[in-house]
């Protein structure tokens, strides 16, 4: 009896899980668009502290309650069938063409057939759900060994990087989900109306590396398509790959501990380093990465309350609005510029995060679409912030880099046919670079790492760091040598070298 009762409980738990899995995957794809299992594993294993509460509420309403609803219907259906067929034998009579056919069915057998049918259907649902996440390709990737990363990786710690005596400051602005695709078609984008009009002149005046002969950017590849992964790629020259077969918790405690990244290099060059965000620094293990790679001083939404800039009950969007972030950034940059050391000030905006972004009250409403307005307003804020920097005395010794962190996850903002033509925005300002090939390039987020070093005046033999190539050089990127798809496949395959020596710190190698 106890085993029978346990089986019934497991039977119902299994079906609730099936409903939850199916609804969760469909909800995520509808909301995020293309999503990878690496990203799912990363966020399931890392800190989700500081997640926008609206996402949690939407998930509960769209997935948990919906699953409970269908689960309840299933339970009632099964119980109803059992009550209807509570006799030992069921007589079924079929009349056709003046003939009568009588069947005698054992009710217990019929009940079992119904349960088997439900189990088969549930397995089909699971298979189709996993297919939507490209699960089978993921299994292929993690079980296909490759030495590509081991053979192509250029360890920045082992390369001599020479900086000028007079070092330039760095202001790096990561803009949530900023795509060059937001430009209108006349300027290389995919929109009928130019959502980045406020950045048009600034982009014209400076260096935008492009995949076309107009404005453009880099392509998302494996392990670079969410915020933490985008930051890791642009500062270490590597994708972020969290293996489901390894110890994810250990990997995340020492995130990319075997790498020598932008923060490490600048720290050893005497830079003061600051990372400023309007959300929680713990989200996505950002604190761990920045503290372990250059010991950045981090300012987040809690810092703003600790020092009295905002009241403790203040909570907007992911913490506080970008307009406040830019104002706080001005104060901090002025302070840093008054020190006798070069500085690296890095910040990450949030107003253009999906779903629909945050359009502040001060923003101009130009479009019917909420997300379009948040993008336009963000572009306006960025332009005003950069123009302010250019008016300051320290600007002559400062390089400004503006990039997105990844393509937008606002699933309904582009059609599926647009995916191959979309690219992540980048802009390099005040680099003193004259000779460079910046149009019709095939490059990815990993190429930004050595390009930033070069923009600051850093020189290194071979023009490669990590898996990235200095875009200011004549050297071809790895995607240009191999093809983008080949490069994407190679970095997605299992790499023992990556897992052992780059994902975490291993004293036996580095």
> pLDDT tens-digit profile of 487-497?
999 999 999 99
pLDDT band at 508 (very low <50, low <70, confident <90, very high): very low
Q: Do the strands 272-277 and 297-299 form a parallel or antiparallel pair, or are they unpaired?
A: parallel
Q: Choose from 96-110, 238-252, 406-420 the range with maximum mean pLDDT.
A: 406-420
Is residue 229 within 8 Å of 460, Cβ to Cβ?
Answer: no
Average pLDDT of the residues of the chain:
86
Cα 130 to Cα 21: distance, rounded to the nearest angstrom: 9
* Average pLDDT of the residues in 430-441: 90
Is pLDDT above 50 for 510?
no
Pairing of strands 169-175, 398-404: parallel
Read off the pLDDT of each residue in 141-166 and give the average, rounded to a whole number.
Answer: 93
pLDDT at 52 > cutoff 60: no
| Rounded percentage of the chain residues whose pLDDT exceeds 90 | 61
More confident call, 405 vs 67: 405
pLDDT in tens, 458-483: 999 999 999 999 999 999 999 999 99
Q: Which two tokens stand for residue 376?
A: 């336009």
Find the mean pLDDT for residues 328-335.
98
Residue 154 has pLDDT above 90, yes or no: yes
**According to the model, what pLDDT value does residue 216 have?**
97
Q: What is d(CA 353, CA 42) in angstroms, rounded to the nearest whole number? A: 18
Give me the mean pLDDT over the 132-160 stretch: 87
Most confident of 247-256, 288-297, 501-510: 288-297
Is residue 15's pLDDT more than 80? no
Contact between residue 469 and residue 475 where contact means Cβ atoms under 8 Å apart: yes
Higher-pLDDT residue of 182 and 10 is 182
Higher pLDDT, 437 or 446: 446
Q: Tell me the three state secondary structure of residue 308.
A: coil
List the domain boundaries for the chain.
Answer: 2-141, 144-502
pLDDT, average across residues 84-89:
58
Residue owning tokens 């372990």: 292
DSSP count for the chain of H helices, then E strands: 19, 13
| pLDDT exceeds 90 at position 423 | yes
Q: What pLDDT was estimated at residue 271? A: 98
* pLDDT the model gives residue 46: 60
The Cα–Cα gap between 428 and 470 comes to 13
Q: Which pLDDT belongs to residue 349?
A: 98
The CATH architecture to which 144-502 belongs is 3-Layer(aba) Sandwich (3.40)
Flag whether pLDDT at 65 surpasses 80.
no
Over 60: is that where the pLDDT of 187 sits?
yes
Tell me, what's the pLDDT at 199?
98
The pTM score is 0.84
Average of per-residue pLDDT across 153-160: 96
Output the furthest CA–CA distance in the chain (Å, rounded).
Answer: 103
pLDDT of residue 124: 80
Residue 135: per-residue pLDDT: 73
Closest CA to 343 of 335, 355, 331, 351: 335
Q: Are 252 and 45 in contact (CB under 8 A)?
A: yes
Give 140 or 426, the one with higher predicted confidence. 426
Please check the confidence at residue 361 and state whether its pLDDT lies above 80. yes
For strands 169-175 and 459-460, give the pairing: unpaired
What is the mean predicted confidence (pLDDT) over 440-456? 98
Q: Which of 11-25, 225-239, 387-401 has the lowest mean pLDDT?
A: 11-25
Least confident of 267-271, 282-286, 458-462, 487-491: 282-286
pLDDT at 227 over 90: yes
pLDDT band at 76 (very low <50, low <70, confident <90, very high): confident
Which of the four pLDDT bands, split at 50, 70 and 90, describes residue 13?
confident
Q: Which one is predicted more confidently, 301 or 416? A: 301
Predicted local confidence at residue 252, as pLDDT: 67
């Amino acid at each position: 009896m106890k085993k029978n009762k346990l089986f019934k409980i497991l039977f119902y738990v299994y079906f609730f899980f099936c409903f939850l899995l199916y609804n969760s995957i469909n909800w995520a794809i509808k909301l995020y668009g293309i999503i990878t299992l690496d990203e799912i594993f990363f966020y399931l294993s890392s800190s989700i502290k500081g997640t926008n509460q609206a996402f949690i509420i939407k998930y509960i309403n769209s997935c948990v309650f919906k699953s409970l609803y269908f689960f309840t219907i299933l339970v009632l259906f099964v119980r109803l069938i059992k009550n209807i067929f509570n006799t030992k034998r069921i007589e079924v009579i079929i009349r056709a063409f003046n003939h009568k056919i009588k069947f005698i069915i054992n009710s217990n057998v019929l009940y079992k057939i119904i349960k088997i049918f439900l189990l088969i259907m549930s397995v089909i649902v699971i298979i189709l759900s996993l297919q939507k996440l490209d699960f089978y390709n993921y299994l292929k990737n993690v079980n296909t060994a490759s030495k590509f990363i081991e053979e192509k990786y250029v360890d920045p710690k082992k390369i001599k990087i020479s900086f000028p005596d007079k070092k330039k400051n760095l202001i790096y602005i990561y803009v949530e989900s900023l795509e060059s695709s937001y430009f209108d078609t006349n300027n290389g984008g995919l929109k009928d109306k130019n959502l980045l009009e406020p950045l048009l002149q600034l982009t014209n005046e400076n260096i935008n590396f492009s995949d076309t002969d107009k404005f453009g950017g880099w392509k998302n590849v494996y392990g670079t398509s969410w915020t933490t992964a985008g930051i890791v790629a642009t500062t270490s020259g590597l994708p972020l790959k969290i293996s489901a077969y390894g110890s994810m918790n250990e990997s995340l405690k020492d995130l990319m501990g075997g790498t020598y990244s932008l923060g490490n290099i600048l720290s050893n060059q005497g830079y003061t380093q600051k990372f400023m965000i309007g959300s929680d620094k713990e989200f996505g293990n950002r604190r761990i990465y920045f503290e372990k790679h250059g010991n950045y001083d981090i300012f987040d939404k809690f810092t703003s309350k600790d020092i009295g800039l905002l009241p403790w009950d203040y909570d907007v969007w992911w913490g506080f609005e970008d307009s406040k972030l830019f104002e706080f950034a001005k104060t901090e940059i002025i302070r840093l510029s008054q020190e006798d050391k070069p500085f690296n000030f890095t910040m990450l905006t949030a107003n253009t995060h999906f779903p629909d972004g945050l359009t502040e009250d001060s923003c101009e409403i130009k479009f019917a679409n909420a997300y379009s307005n948040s993008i336009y307003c963000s572009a306006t804020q960025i332009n005003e912030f950069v123009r302010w920097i250019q008016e300051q005395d320290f600007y002559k010794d400062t390089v400004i880099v503006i990039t997105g962190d990844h393509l937008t996850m606002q699933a309904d903002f582009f059609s599926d046919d647009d995916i191959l033509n979309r690219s992540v925005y980048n802009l390099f300002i005040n680099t003193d670079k004259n000779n460079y090939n910046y149009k019709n390039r095939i490059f990815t987020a990993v190429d930004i790492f050595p390009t930033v070093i070069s923009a600051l005046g850093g020189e290194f033999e071979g023009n490669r760091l990590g898996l990235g190539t200095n875009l200011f050089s004549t050297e071809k990127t790895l995607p240009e040598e191999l093809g983008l798809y080949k490069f994407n496949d190679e970095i997605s395959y299992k790499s023992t070298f990556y897992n052992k020596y780059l994902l975490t710190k291993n004293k036996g190698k580095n």
